[in-house]
Amino acid sequence: MVFKILSLDGGGMRGILSARLLLEVEQQIREEKGQTLHEYFDLIAGTSTGSILAAAIALGKGAEEAIEIYQNRGNDIFLPKIRQQRQSKWRALRRFFSPFALYPHAVGESQGLANVLKEELCIQDENGVARCPNINELHHQLNRPILLILAYDTLSRNTSFFASNNPADNPRWYDSLPLWQLCTASSSAPTFFPPYELPYYSEGDALPHIDGGVSANNPELAAIAHALLDPDVTLKDITLLSVGTGKTTKVHSYSDVKQWGQIEWLKNLPDIFLNPGAEISEAMSRQLLFSQGAKTEYLRLNFDLNTPFETTERKPRRLRKPSKNPYNPLIEKYTEKPGQPGQRVKISEEIDDPQTAKDLLSAAEAYLEKGEVIYINHWIPVKSAIREFIQQSS
């Protein structure tokens, strides 16, 4: 048998980049297999913004609809007024000493992370009325792929695996919770959002959760582990497509970092913690699948948002110098014409700025058209790699 996994990273507004890559995957799946994303994959795992994408796909939404969530609701999640306060120099310290500088979960009826997800992660019943299914219903009653969402429980100090395929005779405490609540918990990134409480068994009890990216911003290892809980699934059966939100490329030199105090460390924490864990998960997943003689259908779609160094050339025993004017090289390559250089666009690496949506979509488009990715130990064009992955994962 073949067990197909889709893994989706965290990264705030940069999830629109993942959604654009998924649009290409979706189109090729439809052409090759005549299926949708939720029909093709057996398990979809997501952390933070990846959990929102994963839930939307599991509900039957297409990648185009997912892109529209970021385009149309970004300012409802990352409220411009709050963002302006966070960027204001004289108010910057409030971010670290006051919860009022965090993006709220709910403002009025339609703004805030929780309100947006409550509206977007719903389906229509037979009477055309919108309703928000719980995670257990999604798999067992609606016959959708297994959904796995990760969040971090600050009370129990462990990562919560919210899975949709728990057996009916052994329910978990979160099985009856609506999907949007679990995604809100998974997306509550520290320094951006307050923690989110999920109701526990007993009335009045609740478990506080924060962003799953704290422990697993790239959830592919967790997805592999969950898949192997099924005794009929082995490592040899697994094929895995992993989609990132773009690699943060800002370079922090020793002279900069040694000057940081507590506030500077907090300020740069999200920028620092997103990539390392994701790269470790990628390396371990790749080696784990290959080492057991598993299929070679492992594909990771991700790329540098900007040029971190002045040159890509590596000289023996010499360190490269940080880029003074970073830009996205894929967009430059994509927009160049005979006798005319391409555009040098610096992509904002902030995860809470809805204004970056257009540039992120452009970068994803350029990656699909001009980028290359390692697949089966060879560098090949991204679109070709996606096509081969789909053809081989049958």
In order of 12, 50, 88, 353, the CA distances from 180 in angstroms are 16, 13, 32, 22
Query: pLDDT at position 142, please?
Result: 84
Alpha carbon 179 to chain centroid, angstroms = 17
- What tokens appear for 5 in the block? 């996994």
Query: pLDDT at position 393, please?
Result: 78
Per-residue pLDDT reduced to its tens digit, 154-173: 999 999 999 999 988 888 99
Give the predicted TM-score (pTM) of the model: 0.94
Is the pLDDT score of 202 beyond 80? no
For residue 107, what pLDDT band results from cuts at 50, 70 and 90?
very high
**Mean pLDDT computed over every residue of the chain:** 90
Question: In whole angstroms, what is the distance from residue 271 CA to residue 187 CA?
Answer: 16
Per-residue pLDDT reduced to its tens digit, 62-105: 999 999 999 999 999 999 998 887 776 445 555 555 555 799 99
Q: Taking CA 144 as the corner, what is the angle to CA 139 and CA 146, rounded to the nearest 5 degrees?
A: 60
* Residues whose CB falls within 8 Å of the CB of residue 191, separated by 6 or more in sequence, listed in order: 95, 96, 102, 266, 267, 269, 270
Amino acid identity, residue 286?
A: R
Residue 22: CA count within 13 A, CB half-sphere: 31
Per-residue pLDDT reduced to its tens digit, 15-39: 999 999 999 999 999 999 999 999 9
For residue 123, what pLDDT band results from cuts at 50, 70 and 90?
confident
In order of 247, 258, 279, 323, 388, the CA distances from 320 in angstroms are 18, 20, 21, 9, 35
For residue 296, what pLDDT band results from cuts at 50, 70 and 90?
low
Q: What are phi and psi of 113, to 5 degrees?
A: -55, -50
**Closest by Cα among 63, 45, 53, 55 to 3:** 45
The whole-number average pLDDT for the span 171-181 is 94
